Amino acid sequence: MFNKTTLKNGLRIITVPQKGTKALTVLVLVGTGSKYEKKEINGISHLLEHLLFKGTKKRPTQLSISEPLDRVGGVYNAFTGEEYTGFFAKVDAKHFDLALDVISDVYLNSKLGLEDVKKEKGVIIEEINMYYDHPSLYVQELWNKVLYGDQPAGRSIAGSKESVLKISRQQLSDYMKSQYVAPNTVVCVAGNISSDQVLKKIRNYFSKIKTKKPFGKFPVAEIQKKPELLLHTKETDQTHFCLGVRGYSLFHPQRYAQEILGLILGGMMSSRLFIKIREELGLAYYIITKTSSFTDTGYLVTQAGADNQRSKKAICIILKEYKRISQEKVPLKELKKAKDHLIGKMALLLEASDAQASFCGLQEILEKRILTSKQICDKINKVSVNDVLEVAQDIFQPSKLNSALIGPFEDKKPFKKLLNF
């Protein structure tokens, strides 16, 4: 069970005591990401995430940050999403003070050195190059682009090479001062802890955090009347594609039905598309259907890599399965399997302190509320056969269908002709 405390300055502190573990995780989340960025500073959230580990006044180099945690076998990292950025350290519980000291120092006191800014831009450009060279990764960026186009939701979290190179130290500093503030921050500690002691120490470490009101994210415009396809021509041995539909946000009452729908289609090794496309027909090595829900948008997408000559066949089979599941009720046995999978997977994941911290922290930063795993299980178990059918009928429509594709093709028309029901 978690405990949540909101300080007068707006800082939210969540503690999640766990029995039977020797570990703990300190996670700090800030409610900002790529959906908060203007085009000219696209990638600034991600660049900041990198830079915060490069040095503080107390720890002036990257080595002085990483070495103390390495000495105790700590696991530490940071991540950036569309709507949040996070920094964490997972350690043996006896090293709690070290983990909190390092992560709070990184979050509050980064020096953003000019030389560090210059070098880290080079690192991020190589990260962008890496994604570009891996079609199975790059097609996911194209998927967001075909969904949302030239607006923050449709741009890369890492930014473009051009935008990253143009971001100045002053812009980094201004963005950090605006967003890395108490009302926009959640500190979550999970694991072998005493909530009272943890709360007292966090109050002390974050006593000087700024308290101004942050700016909000840009609204997402979703305007679509017909199927859309984005083709990236590249010499590849496989055609990598994302094929899916616009879906539901985190606050939609049918979000769990949408998630179960995705599992039934392609979220398990015994799911429909995995069995059909990989096991029966041997059309692809990897194929997966997943759902993603944000505070204002959502989607269901199937991704696969197929032989160039047989990619159209794979796409047709996926579309056929989309149509079938929107016309025929899912058998109760199949629905139960998906529910049990979702509940069982959550139980396994939440054994770890870092997963517990993310589970509670991300709900708080995105939804401003935290449901327990039991409450979520109850919602999952309430999903009916009719719910799944209604969701499928709602989202599997031509006006919501999109595809992003990478392969050695010059003309997208033959693929676009496939996008109908």
CA end-to-end distance (rounded Å), the chain: 46
Tens-digit pLDDT profile for residues 94-120: 999 999 999 999 999 999 999 999 999
DSSP for 2-66, written as a single string: -EEEE-TTS-EEEEEE-SS-SEEEEEEEES--GGG--GGGTTHHHHHHHHTTS-BSSS-SHHHHH
- Specify the residue for token string 């000291």: 101
**228-416 under CATH 3.30.830.10, yes or no:** yes
Q: Can you give the residue ranges of every domain in the chain? A: 3-205, 228-416
| Half-sphere exposure for 15 (CA within 13 Å, toward CB) | 17
Total residues belonging to the chain: 421
Element (H, E) at 355: helix 353-367
Tens-digit pLDDT profile for residues 300-348: 999 999 999 999 999 999 999 999 999 999 999 999 999 999 999 999 9
Residue from 218, 275, 255 nearest 367 by CA: 255
The three-state secondary structure class of 113 is coil
Residue 14: what are its φ and ψ, rounded to 5°?
Answer: -120, 130
Q: What is the mean pLDDT of the chain?
A: 97
Going by DSSP bridges, is the β-strand pair 12-17/185-191 parallel, antiparallel, or unpaired? parallel
Element (H, E) at 386: helix 385-395
- Specify the residue for token string 């939210």: 12
Q: Which region, left, alpha or beta, applies to residue 31 given φ > 0 means left and ψ of -120 to 50 means alpha?
A: beta
Return the DSSP state at 215. Answer: P
Residue 10: what are its φ and ψ, rounded to 5°?
Answer: 100, -10
Distance CA 277, CA 305 (A): 11
Element (H, E) at 358: helix 353-367
What tokens were used for 234?
């590249």
The three-state secondary structure class of 350 is coil
Domains 3-205 and 228-416 share a fold: yes
Bridge-partner residues for 14, per DSSP? 4, 188
Angle at 188 between CA 185 and CA 192, to 5 degrees: 165
Distance CA 322, CA 396 (A): 7
- Provide the CATH topology of domain 3-205: Cytochrome Bc1 Complex; Chain A, domain 1 (3.30.830)
Catalytic residue at 40?
A: no
Residue from 329, 342, 326, 333 nearest 394 by CA: 326
The alpha carbon of residue 26 and the mean position of all alpha carbons in its chain are separated, in whole angstroms, by 19
**393 with 387: CB under 8 angstroms?**
no
Set 37, 49, 259, 364: catalytic member: 49
Q: What is the pLDDT along the chain (421 residues), one digit of tens a residue?
A: 899 999 999 999 999 999 999 999 999 999 999 999 999 999 999 999 999 999 999 999 999 999 999 999 999 999 999 999 999 999 999 999 999 999 999 999 999 999 999 999 999 999 999 999 999 999 999 999 999 999 999 999 999 999 999 999 999 999 999 999 999 999 999 999 998 999 999 999 999 999 999 999 999 999 899 999 999 999 999 999 999 999 999 999 999 999 999 999 999 999 999 999 999 999 999 999 999 999 999 999 999 999 999 999 999 999 999 999 999 999 999 999 999 999 999 999 999 999 999 999 999 999 999 999 999 999 999 999 999 999 999 999 999 999 999 999 999 999 999 997 6
> Which residues neighbour 162 within 8 Å (Cβ) at sequence distance 6 or greater?
none
